[in-house]
Amino acid sequence: MAAVTSQTTQTGQDEVTDLSKQYDTPMGLAHSTMQALKDRIKLHYDLASDYYLNLWGEHIHHGYWATDEAKAKDTKEVAQVNLIRLLLEISKVSEGARVLDTGCGIGGTSRFLASELGCTVTGITISTKQVEMATRLTKAEAAKQIQGDHKTVTLDADGFIALGKGKVRFLELDAEKMGEYFASDAGTFDVVWISEALSHFPNKALFFQNAFKVLKQGGKLVLADWFKGEELNQTQFDNDIKPIEDGMLLPPLCTQPDYVKFATDAGLKVFHEPKDISKDVSKTWDISWSLVQNPSLWAFAFSQGRDGIAFLQAFRAMRRGYSNGSFRYAVMSFQKEQSYPTSIDISRPQPPPPPAHLLSSGPVRSDPSKIMATYPQPRNQRGAELGILVPPRMDVGELRNSKTENRINGWSPNA
C-alpha cells in the first residue's frame, strides 16, 4: 500500500520521514532500510526501557481481563500475568521446558517461566539496555528467593542465573539471526515464546523459519501480537493503523491469517487457532493513557524529537483502533510435528504370518463389489435391498479342523 507519513516543516511543505518510506517499497525491503529500522528500534528501547519499567512494570506487554469481574477488580499487573497464563494454556508448555523467549524485554516472562514452571529460559533482545536491566532484575529476584544479597548471585558457566526451580539467561541478539546463532542447538528448544515483539520484525517469514529450526520435534511456538483488522478501507488505515505503525516503529502490520500462513509455510502446524482477545486487552491502553499524562514522560518524549512524540501519540490511535475494530490483538500457537520411522527394525522379533490358506483372496472392505463377489447373495429380497450380506456357512467339523490346523501351524487369531 503506497502511503506516506509526513510532518509540516517551517516552510509549510510536507517532509517525508524515513520510516514512512517503508510504504513505498514491497515487503522485501533493501537491507539498508531494514537495518535502519532495526537500529531505530534498538535505540528506542535502549533509551526508553527505564520509562517502560515505570509505566508497565516488569512485564512489557498487555494485560488480559477475561471477565467483567476481572475488568472491575484486577490490576494491570495481575492482568499481565493472566496473559502469560493464557499463553501457557493454549500451548500446553510443560514444566522444565527449555524455552527461547524472543524479544524478552526486561525479562518478566522469562523469570515467571523459570520460577513457576522450572523452565530453562534463554531471553534474547536487540537492546543492550534491556539485557542489563533484565539481568539486574533477575539477580535481585534470585537474591530475594535465597534471602541473600544480589551481589552474591552468580552466573553459571553458560551465563544462567538459578531462579526458583529453573534458570534464566539474557543475550543481546537480533532475533532474525537466532537460527544462525543457535545452529549448534538446532532442534533442542521445547518452546519458542514471543509476546508483542514479532510485529517489530521486518522479515516475519524468516522468524517462523528460524523457529522451526531451533524447535525440537513436538516443540511449540506460542505468540501474542498486534494485528490490523482485515479488509480495512483507506480511511481506517490512515486514521488508525498508520499512526500506530509510525509511533511504535513497526513495519507494515499483518493480519492474523498472515501469521498462520507464515507458520505453515515454514513447516509448522496449527496447535491452537488464533484467538482474538482484543476486547479483553484493550483496557491496557485506557490505563496507559492515564499514566502517560505524567509531565516527565512527555519531557522525555520531546527530548527524543519526532519519534518520541509519535510514540506517545500512538497510544491514542491504539485506543481508537481497539474501539472501532481496525486494530486487533490475538494469541495463537503452532507445533513442529513429530516424525516417525517409516522402516521396520528387522532386529526385533516379528509376529509369524497367518497360515497360507487364510491369505486367500477375501472381502475387501473398501470395495463393495469384491465383497459381493466373495460372499453369497442375501437369502431374501429384503436383505438385498438393505445390502445385508451373509458369510459362507461352515459346519462344526470344518470349524474344528480349522482351529486344529491353526494350532499345528503355531498361529492363533488371538496371538
- The DSSP annotation for 388-413 comes to ---PPP--HHHHHHHHHHHHHTT--T
> Contact, 226 vs 317, CB < 8 A?
no
Strands 120-125 and 166-172: parallel
Q: Give 225's DSSP letter.
A: E
Terminal-residue alpha carbon distance, the chain: 67
**Per-position pLDDT tens, the chain of length 415:** 333 233 333 333 333 333 333 333 333 343 347 778 888 888 888 887 887 887 778 998 999 999 999 999 999 999 999 999 999 999 999 999 999 999 999 999 999 999 999 999 999 999 999 999 999 999 999 999 988 776 778 899 999 999 999 999 999 999 999 999 999 888 999 999 999 999 999 999 999 999 999 999 999 999 999 999 999 999 999 999 999 999 888 999 999 999 999 999 999 999 999 999 999 999 998 887 777 777 777 777 777 777 778 887 888 899 999 999 999 999 999 999 987 655 555 555 556 665 555 554 554 444 544 444 444 454 455 444 455 454 555 454 444 454 444 444 454 445 4
Residue count of the chain, please give it: 415
User: Which residues 6+ apart lie within 8 Å of 392 measured at CB?
Assistant: 375, 376
Neighbours of 380 (CB within 10 A): 11
Q: Is the pTM for the entire model greater than 0.75?
A: no
Tell me the Cα Rg of the chain.
Answer: 30
Q: Which domains does the chain possess?
A: 30-335 (3.40.50.150), 357-408 (no CATH)
Cα→Cα distances 61→27, 170, 180, Å: 26, 18, 27
Q: Cell numbers of 35, please?
A: 537495518
Instruction: Give 168's strand partners.
Output: 121, 161
Of residues 282, 272, 274, the one with CA closest to residue 325: 282
